[in-house]
Amino acid sequence: MTNGWRRAPAVLMIALVAFSPIGGPLAAWAQQGLSPDYRVGPGDRVFLSVPQRQDLSRELVIKEDGAVTLPLIGEVAISGLTAREIEAKLLQALRDYYPSVNRVQITITEALSQIIYITGQVRNPGKYSFPNTINVWELLREAGGPSESASLDNVRIVKDRTRGGTTTVVNVLAAIEGGSVDNLPDLEAGDTVIVPTIEEVYTGTFGVNVFGAVVRPGIYRLQARQDLASAVLLAGGPVELAELKNVAVIRPRGDGTYQTIRVNMANFLDHGDPFGNPKLQPGDTVHVPRKGALVQLATSDIRTLLGLITAIATTTLLVIAIKDQVRTNN
């Protein structure tokens, strides 16, 4: 993996067989990690197998203009076609010159055109190629993860111009907190993912970054009281689902590492506990998590525990009944 280019090592294949000369039914394709809707592009490699004319069988590389070259026939444009569409087009082209050809097998041996771009606040921005469909989280992980200044609640997906060039904003942070990264949007070839910098409302000496379950995430200047509660209030205060018992203060050390301090801010708000409202330092980051994921997890754990208790009780009663029956028979 060099120069910002990442290509998965898998070799991908889709086999298609035509059983009639023109427009006939196709045999079921064999999928190995590549969708049947995959559309080839420049750089992809396609192996053409012609059972009736083995001399025509060969590997074809899709050129920059989207065409492949066949003997006698010349160039045939196949870029942007699915494997089924390629099979039908090449079969028709071959039959015009070789009437004996009535069956063609197409194998996509390398899918190099599935390029997705990622830029902005990630450790390894660049272009990446994947054999199968991936979502935003998997691309972020492949790109080395977000940088310290990444705004994960405002990630943008820009579609290729051929797909309308639309932009979608995705809250990756909420998916991480809710344990639902698998539900993030899937990406398509040509997509560009932009991870922006956290919006800097204030960039002075006393800037403190506040994000998560607050009304207005951003960087704020602490005036007068430089404490946690003041920072959260400057950010508009916590939202309804904020988990104030587990607020994190991330503090940079001088050696380039970070210290995470867990604070029960609810104790300060409810009981005036000073430990729940520590002083902040310039450069601190405050993360207020959401409680939805915790509640869901707790509910799931309770249900699992109740199910386990029920199973144990049922088994115990069954064992007792069997023992009683044995005693009665004896």
Out of 110, 145, 167, a domain closes at 110
Identify the CA nearest to 54 among candidates 105, 93, 18, 92: 105
56-93 pLDDT, tens digit per residue, is: 999 999 998 999 999 889 999 998 887 888 889 999 99
CA-CA-CA-CA torsion for 35, 41, 44, 48, nearest 10 degrees?
80
Out of 53, 81, 110, a domain closes at 110
Q: Which residues contact 305 (CB under 8 A, 6 or more apart)?
A: none
Q: Are residues 246 and 328 in the same domain?
A: no
**163-186 mean pLDDT:** 86
Q: How confident is the model at residue 119 (pLDDT cuts 50, 70, 90)?
A: very high
Q: What is the CATH number of the domain that holds 252?
A: 3.10.560.10
Identify the CA nearest to 71 among candidates 101, 41, 109: 101
Q: How confident is the model at residue 114 (pLDDT cuts 50, 70, 90)?
A: confident
Identify the CA nearest to 190 among candidates 156, 165, 170: 165
Q: Are residues 50 and 82 in the same domain?
A: yes
Q: What is the CATH number of the domain that holds 105?
A: 3.30.1950.10
Q: Cα–chain-centroid distance for residue 29? A: 26
Q: Are residues 240 and 176 in the same domain?
A: no
**In the predicted structure, residue 122 carries a pLDDT above the cut 60:** yes
pLDDT at 321: 55
**291-319 mean pLDDT:** 48
In a domain, 200, yes or no: no
Contacts 24+ apart (CB under 8 A), 268-276: 268/228, 268/229, 269/229, 269/244, 276/228
In a domain, 44, yes or no: yes
Q: Are residues 277 and 190 in the same domain?
A: no
Q: Distance between CA atoms of 197 and 185, rounded to whole angstroms?
A: 21
37-61 pLDDT, tens digit per residue, is: 777 888 888 889 889 899 999 999 9
Q: Are residues 324 and 304 in the same domain?
A: yes
In a domain, 2, yes or no: no
Q: Distance between CA atoms of 86 and 68, rounded to whole angstroms?
A: 11
Mean pLDDT, the chain, integer? 76
19-33, 177-191, 260-274, 312-326: lowest mean pLDDT where? 19-33
CB 89 within 8 A of CB 78: yes
pTM: 0.40
CB 298 within 8 A of CB 306: no
Containing domain of residue 219, as a range?
207-288
pLDDT at 91: 93
Q: Distance between CA atoms of 318 and 324, rounded to whole angstroms?
A: 10
In a domain, 213, yes or no: yes
Q: Cα–chain-centroid distance for residue 232? A: 30
**In the predicted structure, residue 28 carries a pLDDT above the cut 90:** no
In a domain, 150, yes or no: yes
In a domain, 184, yes or no: yes
Q: Are residues 35 and 74 in the same domain?
A: yes
Residue 94: phi and psi, rounded to 5, are -70, -40
Domain tally, the chain: 4
Q: Are residues 263 and 304 in the same domain?
A: no
Q: Report CA Rg, the chain.
A: 30
Q: Are residues 119 and 106 in the same domain?
A: no
Q: Distance between CA atoms of 62 and 39, rounded to whole angstroms?
A: 12
Out of 195, 227, 251, a domain closes at 195
In a domain, 282, yes or no: yes
**274-301 mean pLDDT:** 74
Strands of 105-110's sheet in order across: 15-17, 105-110, 45-49, 58-61
Q: Which two tokens stand for residue 314?
A: 């049922």
Residue 314 corresponds to which amino acid?
Answer: T
Q: Which two tokens stand for residue 289?
A: 């998590």
Check residues 265 and 230 and name the one with the higher pLDDT.
265
In a domain, 34, yes or no: yes
